[in-house]
Chain A
């Protein structure tokens, strides 16, 4: 069986080398994501069969089913999918440009910046009775701003005739620790109610997502995922080191900045609506690497789908396992992801 297909259109103007195994894996992952999506939509206080769920998707189904699915379940599941995809894709980009398998949105402090912003938001805009003085709808914006400001700060502080990967990651880790300390400080000094609310956010949850969130997050995430895909070959070349990348004529610093901005945008959107969901950004790219290899054009979409599946599944468990108690999805991303990741590592230890 051939390992690769040559995809060529319009002469050679559009031409790609398609890895057959990666393509099949991608299609299987997409199918798995669709299955998790449908099951999650059907599961909850009111059980709805997968067939009926699909009917509702295509405009059919009973009024009751439609109401439950459209008003209550779909928005949060779509948000979970987007958050997972964004974090996983951003983690993959960061691991590529920093050339370090431990890089992830949390490690280089971007999530930390968002946490500080959210805890600060809860602290500064509360009155004596712990009620917010402004709408909670501003919280995503605060989270996004925190993530963006921190990303720029990391880049700015790491700058010295351009940005080298090692400076980027060291400055990032330094700032991440600082953000963590700040978050803890504010939580310790703030009232208990705020601390617990902040803690839920930091753990990461898609509870309470609505269609307005979906309307912002979906186009935002998809646009930057496509951008990341367009930039894929620049991630590939940077993974070989700056000397090689410059040697083949890549403008390394320009693309490093662009890629950092794309991953920041993805992370910012994800944390704004999903909070500080951990593990996905670190592990999803590694899982994808073990399934489709290191070429970023295949790694990116596979990683995004794995991330989406992880967060959807984590949210499903979180809202059903101890129902009516809601457990934040962030609690479960690691607990369902880690065993599978360790299994993958174990299976490929000799490869």
Chain B
């Protein structure tokens, strides 16, 4: 175990009932980088993320957080090292942003000590980092989709952990807000060296923001590495079962995947691949 790993899995097998989702997986997730899980629907990438976050008990094997088996740590200790934002969370009616973000401090609180000076500082920093200071007294249900997601991210930031896991943080957001959220996470990684692990559906955005891609298929990791090293036509064909061309993103130089398929093609003889 080198110091370079935030999370590792050892012989990890995950299942729902008798259905094996992930089989004997050994995975290493580097510290201080953005790692993105990709894969087709139902490949188990969200399940893997949930299991790393100890929300799902493995059938066998272990998840290691900074070298220690997560099952052996107290859940509060884990919560001080790693935060998880599940997919499309919902807040009760009438809860304000401040009241939501404050709950990220749960692992540091007792029933008498619910608002220490440190709590206040961390909550303020989280609101600042996500640009939510102005909106802190608004109710979560009155916010737009992008603001709401930033409020939830602020809550996970208030938890003050080195590692943050996010399950499809851009789902249901329009393109502007997808970029806004991913830029925010990228900045958190750049400035504060937080390890970020997330599931993303958009392959091109994954290539642009990830240092490290983990492509999952058939209960295994199909490939792992820098996007520019692992993403190519062959991988997309194998992992997603889709024909495509991979070219270079004209703005970022990262891989850009353009799928074949039907559609309104104005270039003769292109668009549909028939081999």
Contact = CB atoms under 8 A, between A and B. Distances in A.
Contacts of A64: none
A248 B106 contact: yes
Interface stretch (B29-37, B88-96, B218-226): B88-96
Contacts of B102: 17
Given A7-B115, A8-B115, A244-B89, A294 B103 contact: no
A294 B93 contact: yes
Interface of B: 50, 53-55, 74-80, 83-86, 89-96, 98-100, 102-104, 106-107, 109, 111-120, 137, 139, 142, 159
Given A7-B115, A17-B115, A289-B94, A247 B103 contact: no
A349 interface: no
A104 to B, nearest CB: 16
Interface of A: 3-4, 6-8, 12-17, 96, 99, 101, 230-233, 236-237, 239-244, 246-251, 289-290, 293-295, 297, 351
Given A247-B55, A248-B104, A248-B107, A17 B114 contact: yes
Contacts of A4: 98
A294 B89 contact: no
A12 B116 contact: yes
- Nearest 10 Cβ contacts at the A-B interface: A249-B79, A12-B116, A249-B76, A243-B86, A248-B106, A247-B84, A17-B115, A249-B107, A294-B94, A294-B95
B137 A249 contact: no
Nearest to B165: A247
Q: Is the interface of A mostly helix, strand, loop or mixed?
A: mixed
A251 B75 contact: yes
A230, A237, A247 interface centre (most CB from chain B within 10 Å): A247
Given A101-B93, A248-B159, 20 more contacts: A8-B115, A8-B116, A12-B117, A13-B112, A13-B113, A15-B119, A233-B109, A239-B92, A240-B89, A243-B55, A243-B86, A243-B89, A247-B84, A248-B83, A249-B76, A250-B106, A293-B94, A293-B96, A293-B99, A297-B114
B115, B139, B142 interface centre (most CB from chain A within 10 Å): B115
Contacts of A230: 111
A15 B103 contact: no
Given A240-B89, A289-B93, A294-B92, A249 B116 contact: no
A3 B98 CA distance: 11
Contact of B84 (A243, A290, A294): A243
Given A293-B94, A294-B95, A246 B89 contact: no
A251 B75 CA distance: 8
A246 B75 contact: yes
Contacts of B159: 248
21 contacts: A3-B137, A8-B116, A12-B116, A13-B113, A15-B112, A17-B115, A101-B93, A233-B109, A239-B95, A243-B86, A244-B84, A247-B84, A248-B83, A249-B78, A249-B107, A250-B75, A250-B106, A289-B94, A293-B95, A293-B96, A295-B95
